[in-house]
Structure 1
């Protein structure tokens, strides 16, 4: 992975590094129960929760195990969500994708646009061969979002994660580089 944090631009968005100054924006959407319902975290209650999340983003970047972009609209600097890769396994050319978006921006194609940008970056710049996602079965909107990008549901991982006091089942989704290139032609 690179040393300089990559900035990605799309028609409507700029995906950039998240800074401590973004803590209030992050607090706003990650304190929303609907936004974090399938995030594996309790809703944030304090600005320190947001600062801890930002510190984690920096940690995975420094350790080269992940990269998390803040989603902003062009011409605006407010972070309205985030997306990126985690659990990068460079030796296997593989990573997991994750994302969330402020509820006020749902249904506008913003998540689709951001995810397409990071998929392109992952396959073309980071040379991934496989990008995978873990989605809770009740999270139908996220499943549809990934399926629209060409992801395939591979199966159910039973009691795969323990979060918020529960054992969660997760669907494993994946997209291979050759599938992404084929879909974008």
Structure 2
């Protein structure tokens, strides 16, 4: 099965390639983006190249899928969104995303999440979508809860960033709860 591009009113969700290395680096090297990402910020563009390669390997192994969030209007890649920890046998995955701050609070992340959830529930056979979020990331928590995700609990010392462990919330949305 090949990679499936997705489309929304304003966005193209496309396969990420090495041509996107600079955009990915510009996003993931920012303190404000990486504050709640779960890993440290990038300090070298080759880290972006390695990440793009890992996206391809994750898809080839059937464990993940990652799309570039591209604005139709400009053709610019402004973030990524994807599913990981994908267990096809039980129909479970987790969603994650990041966006360049120039595009925060414009509904872009929500639009991309809707497209990936719709595809995941209706085409990929996923029944349970999880999301792991820093408790301090109130904007992302709020958006996910408005979409219908439910907070399940606190995962103690689940993420490691900045040389120390961090707690995170686990949220989930079931296919039977999904309303477009």
Q: Quick check: TM above 0.5?
A: yes
SS of the equivalent of 1:92 reads coil
Contact 2:131 2:170 (C-alpha < 8 Å) held by counterparts: yes
Residue 31 of structure 2: aligned partner: 33
Cα offsets for 1:59-92 (capped at 9, x unmatched):
1111110000000011433210000100001111
Map 1:7-46 to 2 at 5 A.
Answer: 7-46=5-44
Partner of residue 154 from structure 1, selected from 147, 152, 161 = 152
Partner of residue 56 from structure 1, selected from 54, 57, 64 = 54
Unpaired runs of at least 5, structure 1: none
SS of the equivalent of 2:62 reads coil
For the aligned residue pairs, the C-alpha RMSD in angstroms reads 1.0
Contact 1:22 1:78 (C-alpha < 8 Å) held by counterparts: no
SS of the equivalent of 1:14 reads strand
Partner of residue 97 from structure 1, selected from 80, 95, 98 = 95
Deviating beyond 4 angstroms after TM superposition, the runs of 4 or more aligned structure 1 residues are none
Q: Does 1:119 align with 2:114?
A: no
- Greater Cα offset, 68-77 or 144-153: 68-77
Cα offsets for 1:79-130 (capped at 9, x unmatched):
1000010000111100000000000000100000000000000000001110
Residue 176 of structure 1: aligned partner: 174
TM-score normalised over the length of structure 1:
0.94
Unpaired runs of at least 5, structure 2: none
SS of the equivalent of 2:48 reads helix
CA distance in 2, matches of 1:60, 1:48: 18
TM-score normalised over the length of structure 2:
0.97
- Greater Cα offset, 117-126 or 44-53: 44-53
Shift of residue 161 of structure 1? 2.6
Residue 68 of structure 1: aligned partner: 66
SS of the equivalent of 2:97 reads strand
CA distance in 2, matches of 1:46, 1:76: 26
CA distance in 2, matches of 1:45, 1:54: 15
CA distance in 1, matches of 2:125, 2:24: 30
